[in-house]
Structure 1
Amino acid sequence: MSQAPLYLQIKQFIHQKILSGQWPVGQRISTELELTEQFNVSRMTVNKAIRDLVNEGHLQRRPRLGTFVCAPEEKVQSPLLDIRNIAEEVTQRGKQYSNSVIKQSSILADEHTATKLGVMINSTIFYSEIIHFEDKSPIQLEIRWVNASYVPDYLNQDFSTITPNLYLSQSCPLSAIEHTVEAVVADDKVRDALKLKANDPCLLLNRRTWSHDKLVSCALLYHPGNKYKLSSKLIMN
């Protein structure tokens, strides 16, 4: 056998069975005891391999019935080189959009936020936290800071009916965007908002937007990494 860790060898064995169709969707896989005996390893090692495949969406545990192959879950996709209204994205996929406004307030910019937003420390800025849902499943936690001087009516908006993205695009026409994407370890706040388990992947999009050379807002957009992906298309002349 290969020199990979034992749990990874077992994980690859199970995954190959799924990919080859030997274990089709709905098939109950070998029990942990059977795999323990087959590979001559501990139950903990087998459990680790199966747990990873469950977290990745390949397997599903059913209490008292066993572990079954499940259908691959199509990831939600958003354009990376553009800014789309998330409510519109969801409805265009034929899903139901909703959101939960967690916080909407006026705050004083600390050093870090002042630098990101291009304002003086202790300047009054606007802050909002919103969880966006697709068919009642959380797909994005939006944490946003807004330059109050450029968007004075931001706090007067009902973001349960209009998203910050849509309102800002109408109030301050977009002239430039800055994107940075990274995989992160979600903290408790993000995990709770997105209903993530401890080992679930999390995708973070850092975004800043300008209107007429004015830096209007900066946002942290967290997504469940096992349900979401970002894409881009570059056309070369």
Structure 2
Amino acid sequence: MTKAPRFQQIKTHIQNKIDSREWPVGTRIPTEAELCEQFSVSRMTVNKAVRDLVNQGLLERTPRLGTFVCQSKAESPLMDIRNIADEIKERGHHHHSEVVLQKSIIAPEDVAMRLGVMLGSAVFKTEIVHYEEDKAIQVEVRWVNPDFARHYLSQDFNEITPHQYLMQNCPLSTIEHTVEAILPPPNIARLLDISPTKPCLLLHRRTWSGQQLISSALLYHPGDRYKLSARVNVSS
């Protein structure tokens, strides 16, 4: 059997150290010179292995200090919509949620525009914090058109996510995503247990079932714990 390329062997060595917790988060890994000597390879080979792991989010380079094991980031697909509870379970972690708000409100102007309803219409609103193990990974602020999800407010969102309920009752046909980097509002920073000076990823999401606009959501993620990805096949 052909041996893996040398840079891949170095990557595997580093990954094994991280996975076994021999090198926990915050550990400074050996320098490139030390890895060159250990594996009897060129600096270019070591650099490729380390660079790949930096790009994967396992390592972080700090100028003049070295390369460190960093907290791996949760990841969601940008071009798709998935249940956050399923994403977390697939990573081998435990999901739980905390319902902050669950009630009917009179839609102010910005919410009416988001949902495409008349100003002053009654709409459903929920605020939910999603946790991966013991860390808040997402604050979900969602508005739902009650005409298409009449029993939304009677759901136990500690047991089922809004995504699950809506997918079961209003099958998804179209999604709209917009992403921006922001400094979190004070209430969001508190719910995510981060400083208001820490950056957040804010995903604006609207979903349709058939021709009907069903819900609009603001999904806040701590920037140092989360990333969004997209993969698009481009035909020639």
TM-score normalized by the length of structure 2:
0.72
Is the CA contact 1:148–1:154 (under 8 Å) kept in the aligned structure 2?
yes
Distance between the aligned counterparts of 1:199 and 1:110, measured in 2?
28
What displacement does 1:23 show?
11
What's 1:196 paired with? 194
The SS at the match of 1:215 is strand
Query: Which range is displaced more, 152-161 or 191-200?
Result: 191-200
The SS at the match of 1:159 is coil
What's 2:94 paired with? 96
What's 1:151 paired with? 149
What's 1:8 paired with? none
Distance between the aligned counterparts of 1:108 and 1:87, measured in 2?
29
Corresponding letter in the other structure for 2:217: A
Matched, 1:162 2:160: yes
CA spacing shift, 1:124–1:112, aligned 2, 3 Å: same
What's 1:73 paired with? 71
What displacement does 1:19 show?
7.9
Distance between the aligned counterparts of 1:116 and 1:173, measured in 2?
19
Matched, 1:216 2:226: no
CA displacement, residues 13-53 of structure 1 (integer Å, 9 cap, x when unaligned): xxxxx6872799xxxxxxxxxxxxxxxxxxxxxxxxxxxxx
Q: Could you tell me the percent identity over the aligned residues?
A: 46
Question: 1:1-237 maps to which residues of 2 (within 5 A)?
Answer: 21=31, 71-237=69-235
CA displacement, residues 87-145 of structure 1 (integer Å, 9 cap, x when unaligned): 00000000011000001000011111101100001111000000000011000000000
Distance between the aligned counterparts of 2:164 and 2:82, measured in 1?
8
Q: Could you list the runs of 4 or more consecutive aligned residues of structure 1 that deviate by over 6 angstroms after TM superposition?
A: 56-59
Is the CA contact 1:58–1:72 (under 8 Å) kept in the aligned structure 2?
no
What displacement does 1:199 show?
2.7
Specify every segment of 5 or more residues in structure 1 that has no aligned partner in the other structure, as ranges: 1-17, 25-55, 60-66
Count of residues in correspondence between the two structures:
182
Is the CA contact 1:101–1:131 (under 8 Å) kept in the aligned structure 2?
yes
CA displacement, residues 57-93 of structure 1 (integer Å, 9 cap, x when unaligned): 878xxxxxxx998521111110001110000000000
The SS at the match of 1:208 is strand
Corresponding letter in the other structure for 1:151: A
Corresponding letter in the other structure for 2:146: A
Query: Which range is displaced more, 191-200 or 111-120?
Result: 191-200
Specify every segment of 5 or more residues in structure 2 that has no aligned partner in the other structure, as ranges: 1-27, 35-58
The SS at the match of 2:119 is coil
Give the superposed CA RMSD.
Answer: 2.4
Corresponding letter in the other structure for 1:21: T
The SS at the match of 2:231 is coil
Distance between the aligned counterparts of 1:133 and 1:159, measured in 2?
13
Is the CA contact 1:57–1:73 (under 8 Å) kept in the aligned structure 2?
no
